[in-house]
Every structure is written in structure tokens, then in C-alpha cells.
Amino acid sequence: MAEVEETLKRIQSQKGVQGIIIVNAEGIPIKTTLDNSSTVQYAGLIHQSVMKARSTVRDIDPQNDLTFLRIRSKKNEIMIAPDKDYFLIVIQNPSD
């Protein structure tokens, strides 16, 4: 438990990290370092995206599964690591 907290703190303290959101399987954010409205927006949109991506990977080969998803945009990079019950979203600006 404490280890997870520490890990999240370390991630937060990395260069360029703008925020971390932990979302549960239903798309409800349970922990976040961003403000409420952004969190809700990110959680909802990314949840759909991840479901779609996962579905794609698994449809091609059911024994395969999504390990992580990176969406790189002009301004920043959104990294999503899905798990069975949760997924973790980190928004980083790598060029900082």
C-alpha cells in the first residue's frame, strides 16, 4: 500500500509529469492529482479509448492483451497502463 503511494509520488515528481489519474473498471476516477473537471473529462474519454484499443488487440488474438497505450500529441503525451480492474493515466510533457 505504502509502496504504491511512494511509486505514485515518484512518478508525480518526475520531470514534466502534469498529472496522474487512477480510474476503476467502470470509468470512475478514484484518485487524481488534477482538478475535478479535467479528471472527469480525461477519465471518461480515455476509458472509452482504452476499451476500444483493448478490444481491438484481443479480437485479433484472444490470448493477447493490452499492456500499455501511449497517445502522443503535440503538447503532451498521455500514457495509459490498463489492468484487470483499474487503469492508470499519466499525462507528461516530455520535452520539459
Partner 1 sequence: MPVTHKTLVKSKQGSNAQSQQKPLAAKTAKVVSKKKDEDDGTEIGEGGDEWMHGKTLIKPPDQLDLTEAELKEEFTRILTANNPHAPQNIVRYSFKERSYKPISSVDQLAVHFFLEGNLLHRDSDEARRQKAKQGLPDEKATVVTETEDEKLETPLQAAGGEEAGDVEEGGGEDGAHSVDSKTGKKEQKLTNQFNFSERASQTLNNPLRERGCQTEPPPRASFSATANQWEIYDVYLEEMQKQEKNKEKAKAVPKKEDDKGKKKLTLVETQSDDLTKVAKVAKIIERMVNQNTFDDIAQDFRYFEDASDEFREQEGTLLPLWKFQYDQAKRLSVTALCWNQSYKDLFAVGLGSYDFTKQGRGMLVFYSLKNSTYPEYNYPTTSGILCLDIHPDRPYLVAVGFYDGCVAVYNLKEERPEPVYKSSSKSGKHTDPVWQVRWQKDDMDNHQNFFSVSSDGRVVSWTLVKSELVFTDIIKLSLVGAVSEGPEGVPPPTMACGTSFDFHKQINYLFLVGTEEGKIHKCSKAYSSQFLETYDAHNMAVDAVKWNQFHPKVFISCSSDWTVKIWDHTIRTPVFIFDLNAAVGDVAWSPYSSTVFAAVTADGKVHVFDLGINKYEAICQQPVVAKKKTKLTHIEFNPVYPIIIVGDDRGYVTSLKLSPNLRSKPKEKKGQELPRGPEVEIAKMEKLLSLLREPENSKA
Residues that bind partner 1 in the complex, under the rule CB under 8 A? 1, 3-5, 7-8, 10-11, 14-17, 20, 22, 24, 30-31, 55, 58-59, 62-63, 67-68, 70, 77, 79, 81-83, 85-88, 90, 92, 94
Nearer to partner 1, 41 or 58 (CB): 58
Q: H/E/C letters for each residue in 30-80?
A: EEECCCHHHHHHHHHHHHHHHHHHHHHHHHHCCCCCCCCEEEECCCCEEEE
**What's the burial of 47, exposed, middle or buried (CB within 10 Å: 0-12/13-18/19+)?**
buried
CB nearer partner 1, residue 35 or residue 85: 85
Give the shortest CB-19-to-partner 1 separation in angstroms.
12
